[in-house]
A and B are shown apart, each in its own frame.
Chain A
């Protein structure tokens, strides 16, 4: 055994080549809070990687006349004044390969899940110019999130950037977990970027994805709350570089940034330490560019350029529902729509607590299949009218029949759109449920029995409305034959439902 080890080592030593080349070297002038000022390094580029004697890596952010400002990506406690800093000549990059799927990596792409090294023969720079206009294609294929209210009213397309915004504890992360879980068998790779989150939360999330079999097609990039602001700052760029690796292979990728508020705070911290001038809310002047250049990398490539896509779900946490703060308004203006979650709705039991009125998808129905478009067409308007009537109805009891009908339908619509966590619904099931709702089949079902009715309807129609399901799954739309069958099956089910 020991002979074998020695023999292996001998072979490795023989194969080892220590090439000697000239290196650009600087000296640490000062170190503080994860930032190092380095003299020398005259020809260094912005965003270039440097290495410190203890093996830690840094990135050059400030190029000044006499020194450069470097952010240290790791433990800076052992770096001292006078230490030698070596320029690598490379822009910060992360290792990428197919083996990264199912793994949890840090902001530098190194595994942190204890499952060993990730074999990677390629690296991708973390900063890259977003794909140009000629390489892009309009968003037209849906991302099925499995969440009824989103797929029906705020549809998201592949290549879209849809912001998820809301106060703390309103279910923002729950929405993205459900979306990841629902990507099984949808030819979608998911990248979840955790920025400044508690390790316990991340562990829980990983376990949930593992349990749901979603880790097979998911990568988690984590910059935890205990890590430096520098790592939180680069984590989203690392995530999108990994996503680009898969997009370059023509694959569709869903990337989640959880959350960009903490990312902006980390960048503010770094900028202030680098003595960059503070602006509104003490954020630096380029905080808009920080997020716009990141989110612009989400796109849908046309066939000529491989046809892959990156769909981005950035998350923003608001304070007391204030969406007019600096970072929320910035990200709202960058993205192609937002899903607005409200605390009031959450505590009323309407979960997911999506405020349908304030939420929007600017790509709209072009990201929906025909069948869904048909059933969900008037749902948003119905719900808006219901909210208006609901407020009005509180002041009077004498309501005409049509108003009463609208109110009853509205109550059922709200009930149908409620959904439990970790229970994504297949698109074809959503179509059947919404069909039954908009065609009035649920009007005489008591509101408290809607959930039971819904579940029963899905089970029953799946067994008995095979033609309809086949048409929706394969052709994305039903024919008259399928519709007739579905109508009959729903009526049969209703007669048996007590």
Chain B
């Protein structure tokens, strides 16, 4: 029999809990945990939860976005950014997290799934450094 992956388990939990609520949902989740323990997969609980999160996001059309900037963004800028991402990824919901890092100097870095758009000054300076140091 093929090895059970975290993704397989997450998919199974999703199917078992889909459309359920209240005590029924609690019971299903408890059983899922028991099966995990029986199959000695509790160590992979974090991976399974991440995979489950991905499945739910896919089904609900949710996109998670991480924005890192050197200074706080204005609310108008946040709204614009969310709309852009919504349009690009054809998403229903955009859940954004914002972080501040002074060492980025300026600009912003946007992370969506495994895609990164790094438009920070720090990155540009690093590129310039590499360009100037390469042998010509």
User: Chain A interface (Cβ within 8 Å of chain B)?
Assistant: 9, 12-13, 16, 18, 20-26, 40-42, 65-66, 84, 116-117
- Decide: A66 and B116 in contact? CB cutoff 8 A: no
A16 and B123 CA atoms in complex are apart in Å by 14
- Decide: A23 and B135 in contact? CB cutoff 8 A: no
- Besides A16-B128, A20-B118, A23-B118, 8 other A-B contacts (C-beta < 8 A): A18-B124, A22-B115, A22-B117, A23-B116, A24-B116, A25-B115, A66-B5, A117-B136
In the complex, which residue of chain A has the Cβ closest to the Cβ of B135?
A: A117
Q: What does the 1/0 interface line of B92-136 toward A look like (CB < 8 Å)? A: 000000000000000000010111111100011001100110011
Residue total for B at the interface (Cβ-Cβ under 8 A): 20
Write 25 A-B pairs (CB below 8 A) sorted by A numbering.
Answer: A13-B128, A16-B128, A16-B131, A16-B132, A18-B123, A18-B128, A20-B117, A20-B119, A20-B123, A20-B124, A21-B117, A22-B116, A23-B116, A23-B117, A23-B118, A24-B114, A25-B114, A25-B115, A41-B114, A42-B114, A66-B7, A66-B47, A116-B135, A117-B135, A117-B136
CB neighbors of A among B3-32 (8 A): 5-7
- Decide: B117 and A65 in contact? CB cutoff 8 A: no
Contact of B5 among A9, A41, A65 (CB under 8 A): A65
A117 and B128 CA atoms in complex are apart in Å by 19
Q: List residues of chain B with CB within 8 A of the CB of A26.
A: 114
Q: List residues of chain B with CB within 8 A of the CB of A13.
A: 128, 132
Shortest Cβ gap from B6 to chain A (Å): 7
In the complex, which residue of chain A has the Cβ closest to the Cβ of B51?
A: A66
A16 and B132 CA atoms in complex are apart in Å by 9
* A-B pairs with beta carbons under 8 A, tally: 47
Shortest Cβ gap from A116 to chain B (Å): 7
CB neighbors of A among B49-65 (8 A): none
User: Chain B interface (Cβ within 8 Å of chain A)?
Assistant: 5-7, 47, 111, 113-119, 123-124, 127-128, 131-132, 135-136
In the complex, which residue of chain B has the Cβ closest to the Cβ of A65?
A: B5
Shortest Cβ gap from B136 to chain A (Å): 7
Q: List residues of chain A with CB within 8 A of the CB of B124.
A: 18, 20
A21 and B117 CA atoms in complex are apart in Å by 6
A23 and B127 CA atoms in complex are apart in Å by 14
A18 and B119 CA atoms in complex are apart in Å by 9
- Decide: A25 and B7 in contact? CB cutoff 8 A: no
Q: List residues of chain B with CB within 8 A of the CB of A66.
A: 5-7, 47
A25 and B118 CA atoms in complex are apart in Å by 11
Shortest Cβ gap from B8 to chain A (Å): 9
A24 and B7 CA atoms in complex are apart in Å by 21
A12 and B7 CA atoms in complex are apart in Å by 49
Q: List residues of chain A with CB within 8 A of the CB of B118.
A: 20, 23
Shortest Cβ gap from A78 to chain B (Å): 16
A400 and B31 CA atoms in complex are apart in Å by 97
Q: Name which of A18, A25, A117 has the most chain B CB atoms within 10 A of its CB.
A: A18
A24 and B114 CA atoms in complex are apart in Å by 6
Closest 4 CB pairs of A and B: A117-B135, A40-B114, A18-B124, A25-B116
A351 and B107 CA atoms in complex are apart in Å by 70
A116 and B131 CA atoms in complex are apart in Å by 17
In the complex, which residue of chain A has the Cβ closest to the Cβ of B132?
A: A12
Shortest Cβ gap from A86 to chain B (Å): 8
A40 and B115 CA atoms in complex are apart in Å by 9
Q: List residues of chain B with CB within 8 A of the CB of A117.
A: 135-136
In the complex, which residue of chain A has the Cβ closest to the Cβ of B119?
A: A20
- Decide: A65 and B7 in contact? CB cutoff 8 A: yes
A65 and B2 CA atoms in complex are apart in Å by 13
Known: A66-B7, A66-B47. A23 touches B132 (CB 8 A): no
In the complex, which residue of chain A has the Cβ closest to the Cβ of B126?
A: A18
- Decide: A23 and B7 in contact? CB cutoff 8 A: no
Q: List residues of chain A with CB within 8 A of the CB of B119.
A: 20
- Decide: B115 and A9 in contact? CB cutoff 8 A: no
A12 and B136 CA atoms in complex are apart in Å by 12
Shortest Cβ gap from A59 to chain B (Å): 18
Q: List residues of chain B with CB within 8 A of the CB of A21.
A: 117
- Decide: B115 and A23 in contact? CB cutoff 8 A: yes
Shortest Cβ gap from B39 to chain A (Å): 17
Shortest Cβ gap from A395 to chain B (Å): 67
Q: List residues of chain A with CB within 8 A of the CB of B131.
A: 12, 16
- Decide: A9 and B128 in contact? CB cutoff 8 A: no
Q: List residues of chain A with CB within 8 A of the CB of B128.
A: 13, 16, 18
- Decide: B115 and A24 in contact? CB cutoff 8 A: yes
A300 and B123 CA atoms in complex are apart in Å by 48
Q: List residues of chain A with CB within 8 A of the CB of B123.
A: 18, 20
Known: A20-B118, A66-B5, A66-B47. A42 touches B132 (CB 8 A): no
A379 and B52 CA atoms in complex are apart in Å by 76
In the complex, which residue of chain A has the Cβ closest to the Cβ of B44?
A: A66
Q: Name which of A9, A65, A116 has the most chain B CB atoms within 10 A of its CB.
A: A65
Q: List residues of chain B with CB within 8 A of the CB of A22.
A: 115-117
A65 and B135 CA atoms in complex are apart in Å by 40
A120 and B12 CA atoms in complex are apart in Å by 53
A428 and B24 CA atoms in complex are apart in Å by 94
Q: List residues of chain A with CB within 8 A of the CB of B111.
A: 25
Q: List residues of chain B with CB within 8 A of the CB of A20.
A: 117-119, 123-124
Q: List residues of chain B with CB within 8 A of the CB of A65.
A: 5, 7
In the complex, which residue of chain A has the Cβ closest to the Cβ of B115?
A: A22
Shortest Cβ gap from A54 to chain B (Å): 12
Q: List residues of chain B with CB within 8 A of the CB of A16.
A: 128, 131-132
Q: Name which of A12, A20, A23, A41 has the most chain B CB atoms within 10 A of its CB.
A: A20
Q: List residues of chain A with CB within 8 A of the CB of B116.
A: 22-25, 84
A26 and B6 CA atoms in complex are apart in Å by 18
